[in-house]
Amino acid sequence: MNRPNGRLAVTVVVFILGILVVAQLRSQTTRPGLTDLSAQEITLVIANLNTRNEQLRGEVDALDRQAAALSAARDRGDSVLGQLRSDLAAIEGWAGLTPVIGPGVSIRISGQIGGEGVEDLLNELRNAGAEAIAVEGVRVVPGVVAYGQPGGLSIENTPLLDSFEIRAIGSPQILTGSLTRSGGVIAQLTATAQVSISVTPLDSVAIPATERNLIPSHGQPSL
């Protein structure tokens, strides 16, 4: 009698457990979200999320590189613009369009000298590396010529009296040495004419801009 009763009790317990398990499974299937997915589907979702994260990281890296490239381009642009401005200023100064200042020499001329003698001095200065030259405040640029005989000398319609000054920017040592060397242009001029020429090195020489219009009348830039 005891065995049948025991079997019945076990059967009842198993039945009740079965009901509880089914209820639990039904409650889980009613929840939305990942609970509806199988293990294989969840694995696929995780893989897709990892792939998307990698794509986003790649986009972030690409944007960072783009920002760095733009920043570098901006910096290069500033540098190039500054260099172009510096080059333009140097060209304008060399051409005589702007006033310039720098070390150089002062040449004081007194006595009888003609246009050819003055041009010899100017050519010697150019050959010695003078970067800018002025005669009595007149900037020497292409087309500016000293002309006339002693007593009637002028440059760019500016009369040169018996005593006048030439100023040049360049290495004071080189310019002075070239002008005053034995047998040089000053030695030749003072030997053949009644003229006194002295050269004084200066730490600072100011030379004005030209008043000439340097735009070509016939020539045009060829690019």
Strands 132-135 and 100-111: unpaired
How high is the pLDDT of residue 40? 75
Do the Cβ atoms of 165 and 136 come closer than 8 Å? yes
Q: Is the pLDDT of residue 222 over 80?
A: no
Structure tokens at 177: 């040495």
Please tell me which of 23-32, 65-74, 93-102, 207-216 the model is most confident about, judged by mean pLDDT: 93-102
Do the Cβ atoms of 185 and 126 come closer than 8 Å? no
Q: Quick one: pLDDT band at residue 93, thresholds 50, 70, 90?
A: confident
Q: Is the pLDDT of residue 203 over 60?
A: yes
* Mean pLDDT, the chain, whole residue set: 82
Distances (CA, A) of 198 to 25, 61, 74, 111, 128: 116, 71, 53, 12, 17
Q: Quick one: pLDDT band at residue 120, thresholds 50, 70, 90?
A: very high
Average pLDDT over residues 58-64: 84
Percentage above 90 pLDDT, the chain: 45
Q: Is the pLDDT of residue 19 over 80?
A: no
Q: What structural domains and CATH numbers belong to the chain?
A: 98-207 (3.30.70.1880)
Q: Is the pLDDT of residue 81 over 90?
A: no
How high is the pLDDT of residue 159? 93
How high is the pLDDT of residue 31? 45
- Helix (H) or strand (E) holding 195, with range, is strand 195-207
How high is the pLDDT of residue 7? 55
Do the Cβ atoms of 179 and 186 come closer than 8 Å? yes
Average pLDDT over residues 43-66: 81
* CA atoms of 49 and 37, how far apart (whole Å): 15
